[in-house]
Amino acid sequence: MNVALISIGDEILIGQIVNRNAAWIAETVTAIGCHVVEHCVVADDSQQLMNTIDRLRITSDVLLLTGGLGPTHDDVTKTVLVEYFQDVLVESSDWMKHLTWMSQRGREVTERNAAQALTPSTATLLSNPIGTAPGLLFNRDGIIIVAMPGVPNEMKSIMESHVVPLLHSKLVVQGNATTQYYTMLTTGIAESNLADLIGDPMMFLSGSTLAFLPNYTGVRLRIGVTGLTQEQRDKERMRVASVLRERAGRFIYGHDDQTLSGVVGHHLAERGQSVSVAESCTGGLLGAACTDAPGSSVWFHGGVITYSNDSKVRELGVHQSDIDRCGAVSEEVARRMALGVQEKFGTTYGIGITGVAGPDGGTVDKPVGTVWISVAGPAEQTTLKYHFGADRRINRERSVGAALGMLWKIVR
């Protein structure tokens, strides 16, 4: 089943907001076996929206629209769809009465709406449990068009209550082969090196797909498997995953929605161990990454941001002589930061990060992007030097990923 997404709003086109709705919808419908063929953003303009619907109807079975359902002059979606399908909807007063009645009836009405939506020439209101703007569903000429609010929580509520069950039921009725995706997560290896390690994917994929998706914590390996049944897809997924683990298993830390901090924390919690962090150039980002993981209070005890040299000496016991001799961005200072925070919080592990994030402050010997990271453990300490490039934001995020990756290699 081919699905296209249309996001409506000038605020998206001009970059005032990031289009997270489209990413969430695409991931959600893909997970149930739909095939997303296009994401499209259009202005708050009636003719542009009509033209876009005309174009996408040719290649799509389902169009999912978000935005433009509000009460202001630039909210054009409802008007365009009514004109497009030449349907007469109830007046606004009856609209709200019908919405209230639908919300009160709950699941029974949801199932009835799904059944009505399969009938040609039907325009159906989709109740919005957490907002005032209901969704609209049209089913005409073999294509389903659903319009939803642009407010993320309201859109998600309508998707989960109405749209996903409807699409899933149609997929079951069609009985066609569907594709599902499974992601394996790696850290500590560059994309090109990982590709060399895995070898030619065509030698073992047998109709499945494999994509390399790099980010700041590592490289994601996205496996796409196609089959008529869930059993077939699971069997093929496990076969491909087995090959990848055999060739690159020492770099694979998790799968799908897992995070590196969450996996590290799971290992620490299982052993009754803990970690604390001392940050300079990352300014608290490593501590934030740790506390993003649910249940992190069990294994993450705290951290300090020692941005100045004085604070490194005062809070962590860094030797002023090391700073004078080697500089704040050095192996000696990173090591002492890790040991100092480990002692300060009484944790199993301590992590120290110091670097030149940029855009200023680099030298010939220590250019922007130079970062030292040290992990102090119960019996040994590992300290590594990195060169992350000239972008301040990327340097900081990559430093966090590298630090968590170093700790993962120790605790796994």
| Mean pLDDT, rounded, for 4-24 | 95
Q: Same domain for 169 and 182?
A: no
Q: Same domain for 214 and 189?
A: yes
Instruction: Judge whether residue 74 has pLDDT over 80.
Output: no
The CATH number of residue 221's host domain is 3.30.70.2860
CB-side exposure of 80: number of CA atoms within 13 Å? 25
pLDDT at 107: 41
Q: Same domain for 277 and 369?
A: yes
Rounded Cα distance between 253 and 41, Å, is 36
Rounded Cα distance between 179 and 208, Å, is 9
Core vs surface per residue 35-45: b (16+ CB within 10 A) or e: ebeeebbbbbb
Nearest to 301 by CA among 314, 290, 315, 285: 290
pLDDT in tens, 80-123: 888 887 743 443 344 444 444 444 444 444 444 444 443 334 67
**Higher pLDDT among residues 176 and 313, named by residue:** 313
pLDDT in tens, 181-199: 999 999 999 999 999 999 9
pLDDT at 129: 85
Q: Same domain for 236 and 303?
A: no
pLDDT at 109: 43
Instruction: Judge whether residue 178 has pLDDT over 90.
Output: no
Rounded Cα distance between 399 and 406, Å, is 11
Which of 255, 270, 298 marks a domain boundary? 255
Which of 238, 255, 272 marks a domain boundary? 255
| Mean pLDDT, rounded, for 311-328 | 97
Rounded Cα distance between 27 and 181, Å, is 10
Q: Same domain for 105 and 139?
A: yes
Rounded Cα distance between 75 and 68, Å, is 4
Q: List, in sequence order, the alpha helices (H) in 106-190.
A: 107-117, 152-158, 164-174
Q: State the chain's mean pLDDT as an integer.
A: 90
Which residues does residue 279 pair with via DSSP β-bridges, in sequence order?
Answer: 305, 353
Q: Same domain for 331 and 187?
A: no
pLDDT at 103: 44
Strand, coil or helix: 340:
helix
The CATH number of residue 54's host domain is 3.40.980.10
| Mean pLDDT, rounded, for 146-173 | 93
pLDDT in tens, 228-256: 988 999 999 999 999 999 999 999 999 99
Q: Same domain for 106 and 166?
A: yes
pLDDT at 174: 87
Q: Same domain for 188 and 327?
A: no
Q: Which residue has the tokens 């799904």?
A: 114
Q: Which domain holds residue 216?
A: 178-255
pLDDT in tens, 190-223: 999 999 999 999 999 999 999 999 998 899 999 9
Q: List, in sequence order, the alpha helices (H) in 182-229.
A: 191-198
Q: Same domain for 245 and 269?
A: no
State the pLDDT confidence band at 267, using cuts at 50, 70 and 90.
very high
Q: Same domain for 85 and 227?
A: no
| Mean pLDDT, rounded, for 293-301 | 97
The CATH number of residue 294's host domain is 3.90.950.20
State the pLDDT confidence band at 384, using cuts at 50, 70 and 90.
very high
Q: How many separate domains does the chain show?
A: 3
Which of 174, 190, 216 marks a domain boundary? 174
pLDDT at 173: 86
Q: Same domain for 23 and 36?
A: yes
Cβ-contact 62, 1 below 8 angstroms: yes
Q: Same domain for 218 and 159?
A: no
DSSP state of 281: T
Q: Sign of torsion, CA 302 308 309 314?
A: negative
Nearest to 399 by CA among 349, 329, 295: 329
Rounded Cα distance between 49 and 70, Å, is 16
